[in-house]
Amino acid sequence: MNAPEPRFARVAALIADASRARMLALLLGGEARSAGELARAVSITPQTASTHLAQLLDAGLVTLRAQGRHRYFTLADADVARMLEALASVAERDEVQTRWDTARFKPLKYARSCYCHLAGDLGVQQHDALIAQRVLVSDDAGALVLGEAASDWLHAARFSGEAVLSVRHAAKKKRFAYGCMDWSARRDHLAGAFASTLLTHYLDRGWLRKTSTHRALAPTPSGVGEFSRLFAAAFRQ
């Protein structure tokens, strides 16, 4: 008797298509994109893009949001983002050192967006600093939760009192904060709702800016000072 086909086979087949893979890689940056934007970025016709996106929607890999006459696509959730990051880690492990040493990839290695949270070397530094300073601690089940230093650190990071309360309320939910293997650093960066809140805060404060390199982020002069202060010994440029 033949064994049933693994359920992930269909997902793997969808990702194996070069155009669909490039679309998913673009959406991994966390920004919503229209079908037209994805078509132009991947260099395919709008009709072909629509067919690919319909398949990705049907498989639950992307989600669609309508806003007026416009339709925007995003990755379905953090599980899909983690899957894509894990695949990237496996796909590039044989070339990781030489690839990341090139000028083209250095900005991505240092800091990039990974489905709404901070990845790369700076993301790893954030993860390590928050744990070392007991902003995040492990509970009895091994999950990361806010520690005794959380409120002081958030105020030091220029969160308002209302924003601190909002973070503490969000901390009661599942998947608030957890380690996610970084495919360039090969160590954990921070993922989850807390990580998304932090990245949004850094961008709103002007401590990080988006660059012309897809998904790459760069600290501004003020950001360098703030990260050095907040991440302490973990911060490296």
Task: Please state the domain extents for the chain.
Answer: 8-76, 103-234
Closest CA to 30 of 77, 68, 71: 77
pLDDT tens sequence across 90-139: 776 655 556 666 666 788 888 998 878 899 999 999 999 999 999 999 98
DSSP code, position 216 = B
Q: Do the bridges between strand 144-146 and strand 208-210 make them parallel or antiparallel, or are there none, so unpaired?
A: unpaired
How large is the average pLDDT for residues 156-168? 94
CB 135 within 8 A of CB 145: no
Q: How many CA atoms lie within 13 A of 45 on its CB side?
A: 3
Q: Residue 96 corresponds to which amino acid?
A: V
Higher pLDDT, 206 or 31: 206
Res 149: pLDDT? 94
Could you say which of 1.10.268.10, 1.10.10.10, 3.30.70.260, 2.40.110.10 is the CATH number of the domain covering 8-76? 1.10.10.10
Higher pLDDT, 154 or 26: 154
Task: Say yes or no to pLDDT of 59 above 60.
Answer: yes
Q: In what order do the strands lie in the sheet with 33-34?
A: 33-34, 70-75, 62-67
pLDDT tens sequence across 16-34: 899 999 899 888 877 788 8
